[in-house]
Amino acid sequence: MNMLINSIPTIAALLAVSAALARLVLTGNRRLGQRIDGVEDSLNKRIDSVETNLGKRIDENSSDIRALDAKLSSEIQATNAKLSNELIAINHRFDVVNQRFDSVNRHFDVVNQHLDSVNQRIDKAFNLTIQ
């Protein structure tokens, strides 16, 4: 859209040069020159109007885009904070589960020691009965 706005003055200048050349070529016909002047004025007014309207629309869209960007930015920050808190909570739960596993493993170690002791007694008793 900026390219269109930037090209409007160039188009206007080309039209003005074209009108001036046409006037030079057709100097014998004064009435035609006046009509060309009228067309040139009309085109200049239309170009100015289009340029003004496009400028207004660009300004409106720019402010809408800035507002949307600010809204999305704050929503993204809120979502990031929420996800961060949820990840912290999940990490804490994993820590609790790991602590429970460690506790269970310690209990298994104690049970294994008792079983080893019982097996040693059984082996001794079995060896005594064999002799």
Q: What is the mean pLDDT of residues 65-86?
A: 93
Collapsed DSSP state (helix, strand, coil) of residue 31? helix
State the pLDDT at residue 96: 94
Residue 2: name the closest of 48, 46, 57 by CA.
57
pTM beyond 0.75, yes or no: no
Query: What are the residue ranges spanned by the domains of the chain?
Result: 2-101
CA–CA gap between residue 35 and residue 50 (Å, rounded): 22
Q: With contact defined as beta carbons under 8 Å apart, do 44 and 36 qualify?
A: no
The torsion of the CA quartet 107, 108, 111, 116, rounded to 10 degrees, works out to: -140
Q: What is the pLDDT of residues 113-129, one digit of tens each?
A: 999 899 899 888 888 88
State the pLDDT at residue 11: 74
Question: In the chain, what percentage of residues exceed pLDDT 70?
Answer: 85
